[in-house]
């Protein structure tokens, strides 16, 4: 069983963490984020360390420790430097451009697709790459997955939207006939 939940979380310099009831607020140079913590978990802030403890020794509470430790750590890292996911457009005529908080995509459909960035999320476009960045790791991943879902890479030529570094398994094309036709044909 993993013991990640028992490790203390280090508060990075420039980050402020406030605990009020069961709500943890993390603020830093990238912005503010609030996390609602389960009442089964007890949080102790000791100097520049955060420690999580289970209020009772039920096995499901131990798994919650690992979950909340990771969520809090992601919020602290996101407040110091933003999280980012990069996507790549593969295909002739596939284009992306930003205008303010909107991402305009031309993906071979009869209409352009316009995505509005939620608060805290920023789009950047360079040539055929889209970068989604923000403080909330979950939201960055969710928005990147929504963009990818618009035109998943197809398995024959690999055209579509893929994550940078993602390997697309390609299938073999249709087999060609041998010269002379089928055996026994006249």
175 within a domain of the structure (yes/no)? no
Nearest-CA neighbor of 159 among 171, 151, 167, 148?
A: 151
Q: Are residues 32 and 50 in the same domain?
A: yes
51 within a domain of the structure (yes/no)? yes
Indicate the number of domains in the chain: 2
Q: 154 versus 57: which is more confidently predicted?
A: 154
Residues forming beta bridges with residue 28, ordered by sequence position: 31
Q: Are residues 62 and 120 in the same domain?
A: no
Lowest mean pLDDT among 47-61, 83-97, 170-184: 170-184
Output the pTM of the full model: 0.84
What is the pLDDT, as a whole number, of residue 75?
A: 94
170 within a domain of the structure (yes/no)? no
Q: Are residues 90 and 158 in the same domain?
A: yes
Q: Are residues 16 and 87 in the same domain?
A: no
134 within a domain of the structure (yes/no)? yes
The DSSP H or E segment spanning 17 is: strand 16-20
Answer for the pair 85, 140: CB distance below 8 angstroms, yes or no. Answer: yes
Q: Are residues 105 and 148 in the same domain?
A: yes
Over the stretch 23-53, which tens digit does the pLDDT of each residue have?
999 999 988 999 999 989 999 999 899 999 8
Over the stretch 130-160, which tens digit does the pLDDT of each residue have?
999 999 999 999 999 999 999 999 999 999 9
Torsion-angle region of 78 (φ positive above 0: left; ψ -120 to 50: alpha; else: beta): alpha
With a cut of 60, say whether residue 1 has pLDDT above it. no
184 within a domain of the structure (yes/no)? no
Answer for the pair 155, 129: CB distance below 8 angstroms, yes or no. Answer: no
Residue-range definition of the domain harbouring residue 89: 83-163
- Domain termination residue (choose one: 80, 115, 136): 80
- Domain termination residue (choose one: 46, 80, 114): 80
Q: Are residues 87 and 54 in the same domain?
A: no
137 within a domain of the structure (yes/no)? yes
């Amino acid at each position: 069983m993993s013991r990640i939940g028992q490790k203390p979380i280090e508060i990075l310099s420039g980050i402020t963490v406030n605990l009020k009831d069961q709500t943890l607020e993390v603020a830093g140079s990238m912005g503010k984020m609030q996390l609602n913590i389960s009442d089964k978990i007890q949080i102790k802030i000791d100097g520049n360390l955060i420690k999580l403890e289970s209020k009772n020794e039920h096995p499901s509470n131990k798994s919650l420790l690992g979950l909340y430790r990771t969520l809090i750590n992601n919020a602290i890292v996101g407040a110091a430097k933003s999280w980012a996911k990069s996507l790549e457009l593969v295909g002739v005529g596939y284009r992306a451009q930003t205008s303010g908080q909107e991402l305009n995509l031309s993906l071979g459909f009869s209409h352009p697709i316009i995505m509005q960035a939620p608060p805290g999320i920023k789009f950047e476009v360079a040539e055929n790459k889209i970068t989604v960045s923000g403080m909330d790791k979950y939201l960055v991943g969710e928005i990147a997955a929504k963009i990818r879902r618009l035109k998943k890479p197809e398995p024959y030529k690999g055209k579509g939207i893929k994550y940078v570094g993602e390997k697309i398994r390609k299938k073999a094309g249709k087999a060609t006939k041998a010269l002379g036709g089928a055996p026994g044909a006249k």
